[in-house]
Structure 1
Amino acid sequence: MSDDAEALRARLRSQIAAIEGNTAPTSGASEQPAVSSVSENTGVQESLCDNDEAERAFRKIERLACVREQASAELSRRLIREGFSEAATEAALSRALACGLIDDLRFADVLVRSRLAQGRGRQGIAAELAGLNITVDEVGAFEESEEGSSHEVDRALAVLERKPPRAKNRRDAAYRRLIRKGFGSDIASTAARLWAEAQSSRE
């Protein structure tokens, strides 16, 4: 890991500790209350194991968040897939959300702006957000992009102009490309028709 990345993680941990009040112990049997029975001791050991797993899950989230913004639903699936228990995953995510390490609306804002810049359609972007359990109406960048169907048609036409379909049936090819790009069927149909007509008029 580079010095810059290590410094970033160090600053991040310092900020998290400040937010959390730096009061939660992370390890050490001496910090646990004394127990007198075998069953109670077993319970404490299990609790320590659970806390350790949740801490490891949180550190995993921390590393991923240093690379790019993350969505909680995406992180949950990844942690479960990598072998973390549901309890540890939920605890780590709750902690990350509470201290601002991850923020679904912040992630969504970045995602929407990125997808719009890539020429993706609003319908496809909305579907992607829904798959991450993020409500479109709460995303500022998505609401800002709402400028009516005519603007969406213009965006679709720009996609076709940047990389024109080469198939014999240009209109159908244009329609399919726009659907793959996440534009709604009405927008894709209108834009494909306008683009095909413009191409024919140039010949």
Structure 2
Amino acid sequence: MPDAAEVRARLRAQIAAIEASPSACKGDAGRETPCPSPEDAQVLRGALHPSCEALDPLQEEDDLCAASGSLARSRGGGVPPAASVEALAADDAERAFRKIERLALAREQASAALRARLVREGFPPEAADAAVGRALACGLVNDARYAEVLVRSRLSQGRGAQGIAAELESLGIDASVVPGWPEEFAVDHESEVARALALLDRKPPRAKNKRDAAYRRLAQKGFGASVASTAARIWSEGKERQ
């Protein structure tokens, strides 16, 4: 397995190749940004996640601390000239992009959550916007790809379709961007009830009123009212007959 430095170098080379492509699309304020083809995005995606075990999880925080110190030093000496301000903004955006790069190597990321994290960790909003826009343009970040991974993960955890869609919506992502959602994910009423019953069997509520407790648990897990009500009734009636 290649080490983290090798994987990161390969990833950066692929990003550079995509960004050097003659095809471009208009970004914010009419600015031209590289516009990756589906093939570009697929190649880039292939470089990301097989490598996550090779990354040192502490390195990310070390890098962030170093970047924060650099920012503090560069901003501590009065009002810089306009050229310095522009250079500092570009430096902020580059550091923010490298932060995204490290996070994307570990797992898929949602663009809205990335921007919020960057701002929370001290990057200027303008730098966060520029870095996230660049990551989206070169295919390093893809909300539809993230949504598909999240849907499959949450379904495997026993979550309900309504809760999954709500989680995506909280990230500014419509579940319809996931190919085949919901038809190809077996989230019709009957299959949802079956998954809800399986969840109750794995983790049965202990309250005296089993039906109400089962309903509350299923609602907390993102199942809709109709599914939760049906499954809670079937499950509690089965327990009463035992």
**TM value normalised by structure 1:** 0.85
Report if aligned partners of 2:147, 2:177 keep a CA contact under 8 Å in 1.
Answer: no
Tell whether 2:58 aligns with 1:58: no
Distance 2:181 2:206 in 1: 32
Q: Once structures 1 and 2 are overlaid, which stretch shifts more, 13-22 or 80-89? A: 13-22
Superposition map of 1:29-44 within 5 A? 42-44=81-83
Residue number in structure 2 paired with 1:12: 11
How far, CA to CA, are the matches of 1:175 and 1:68 in structure 2? 33
RMSD: 1.9
Q: CA-to-partner distance for each residue in 1:107-157, whole Å, 9 max, x for gaps?
A: 000000000000000010010000010011121253222542111111111
The residue type paired with residue 172 of structure 2 is N
- Deviation digits for residues 36-62 of structure 1, max 9, x if unmatched? xxxxx9222211111000000000000
CA distance in 2: counterparts of 1:5 and 1:197, whole angstroms: 54
1:3 Cα shift? 6.3
Letter aligned with residue 200 of structure 1 = E
Runs of 4+ in 1 over 3 A off after TM superposition: none
Task: Show structure 2 runs of 5+ residues with no match.
Answer: 22-79
User: Using the alignment, how far apart are the partners of 1:142 and 1:55 within structure 2?
Assistant: 36
Task: Find out whether 1:149 has 2:189 as its counterpart.
Answer: yes
Of 136-145 and 147-156, the range deviating more from structure 2? 136-145
> CA 1:121–1:147 in structure 2 vs 1: closer, same or farther (change >3 Å)?
closer
CA contact (8 A) 1:113 1:141 kept: no
- Change in CA separation of 1:132 and 1:157 when aligned onto 2, cut-off 3 Å: same
Percent of aligned pairs with the same residue? 60
Alignment of 1:15-26 (within 5 A): 15-21=14-20
Equivalent residue number for residue 49 of structure 1:
88
Distance 2:2 2:187 in 1: 44
- How far residue 99 of structure 1 moved from its aligned partner, in angstroms, is 0.6
The structure number with the bigger radius of gyration is 1
Equivalenced residue count is 184
What is the alpha-carbon distance in structure 2 between the residues aligned to residue 172 and residue 148 of structure 1? 23
Give the gaps of 5 or more residues in structure 1: 23-40
State the secondary structure of the residue aligned to 1:140.
coil
The residue aligned with 1:107 is: 146
Aligned to 2:162, the other structure's residue is in SS state: helix
Q: Partner residue of 1:25? A: none
1:8-31 Cα shifts (integer Å, max 9, x gaps): 111111111111129xxxxxxxxx
Contact 2:151 2:164 in 1 (8 A): yes
Q: Contact conserved, 1:109 with 1:141, CA < 8 A, in 2? A: no
Q: 1:62-141 to 2 correspondence within 5 Å?
A: 62-140=101-179
Give the TM-score of the pair, scaled to structure 2: 0.72
2:18 maps to amino acid: I
